[in-house]
Amino acid sequence: MAFIVTDSCIECKHTDCVEVCPVDCFYEGENFLVISPDECIDCGLCEPECPVDAIFSEDELPADQIKFIEINEQLSKEWPNITQKKDALPQAEKYKNQKDKFNLLKR
């Protein structure tokens, strides 16, 4: 089972998780990160690093976030790999507690 980035990451894109990943399985879009399920080794190091609780083990994924399994898989094949921490998006504070941000995802 892989870890999955969910919609809490959208418009925040904190990258603390990227820094601790031993296999560099994160990929970066304009306003969101994803994890490649083919590369994730299920170590769980990324999950506690996320300040907006956007990362879940696939078997603990909330029901309303199931669509992000496919989104992570698809976009990890399209987006560039990210291996170093960057600043969060400037609007991260504004969006950190907002729910249902799927419509804001920029592909």
In one-letter notation, the amino acid at residue 59 is D
Read off the tokens for 14: 């904190």
Nearest in space to 15 (alpha carbons), one of 33, 40, 39? 33
- Predicted pLDDT at 31: 98
**Tens-digit pLDDT profile for the chain (107 aa)?**
899 999 999 999 999 999 999 999 999 999 999 999 999 999 999 999 999 999 999 999 999 999 999 999 999 999 999 999 999 999 999 999 998 999 999 98
DSSP the chain: --EEE-GGGTTT---HHHHH-TT--EEE-SS-EEE-TTT-----SSGGG-TT--EEEGGG--GGGTHHHHHHHHHHTTSPB--S--PPPTTHHHHTT----GGG---
Q: Is the pTM of this model over 0.85?
A: yes
CATH 3.30.70.20 fits 3-84, yes or no: yes
Q: Are 10 and 101 in contact (CB under 8 A)?
A: yes
Any idea where the domains of the chain sit in the sequence? 3-84
**What pLDDT, on a 0 to 100 scale, did the predictor assign at position 107?**
87
